[in-house]
Amino acid sequence: MSAKEANGVCINMNRYEDLNSKLAEIEKIKCQGAILRSKAFWSVDGDKNTAYFLRLEKQRQQSKLISELKDNEGKVSRDTGEILDIIFNFYSNLYSCVKTNNDDKNKMLNFLSRTIDTSDYEMCESDITFDEICRSVNGMKKGKTPGPDGLTCEFYCKFINEFKDIFFSHFQLH
């Protein structure tokens, strides 16, 4: 600062300090997000080593990444598009409608001894209510991110009413 002042550059110190504190706040928020997404809950309040937590977050993402996968014929694929195709084909075949042998089905069903009553059956078949969604969201463990987007349980709890339509469309099967 003093070199610029010596060269005749006018510096507004109040503005400089204000911008410096805003920058520090942005850095703090960025670091808190990296700590949360890296799931490093052992961090000490006030830790500012953002690069460390960003690196830790990236390592966690890499450990969850499927980098290679074998298809039905045993061929290994490392291409992301091919990996997605292998996964899609696997689950398409797994959940496709195929004719089952009734004798085999009846043999398997004979091993089952427990059934649910009519009221439980109706409850299972009914649409999910907003109250059930609220109980589920509010029952999530705080300080956790339930999905890969980095959004916390507290975020979902705070904005549950704004997400109402999205939740309903996601959970309705009809």
Domain count, the chain: 2
Pick from 39, 60, 81: which residue ends a domain? Answer: 60
The answer to the question of residue 150 being in a domain is yes
Q: Compute the distance between CA of residue 56 and CA of residue 62 in angstroms, rounded to an integer.
A: 10
The answer to the question of residue 41 being in a domain is yes
The answer to the question of residue 110 being in a domain is no
Task: Give residue 166's pLDDT band: very low, low, confident or very high (50, 70, 90).
Answer: confident
- The residue segments making up the domain with residue 17 are 1-60
The answer to the question of residue 28 being in a domain is yes
Q: Compute the distance between CA of residue 35 and CA of residue 28 in angstroms, rounded to an integer.
A: 10
Dig out the tokens for 27 from the structure. Answer: 């850095």
The answer to the question of residue 44 being in a domain is yes
Is the pLDDT assigned to residue 77 strictly greater than 90? Answer: yes
**DSSP, res 41:** T
Task: Give residue 20's pLDDT band: very low, low, confident or very high (50, 70, 90).
Answer: confident
Cβ distance 137 to 164 under 8 Å?
A: no
Q: Which of 36-50, 69-83, 138-152, 158-172 has the highest mean pLDDT?
A: 69-83
Dihedral sign for Cα 44, 50, 55, 61, please: positive
The answer to the question of residue 138 being in a domain is yes
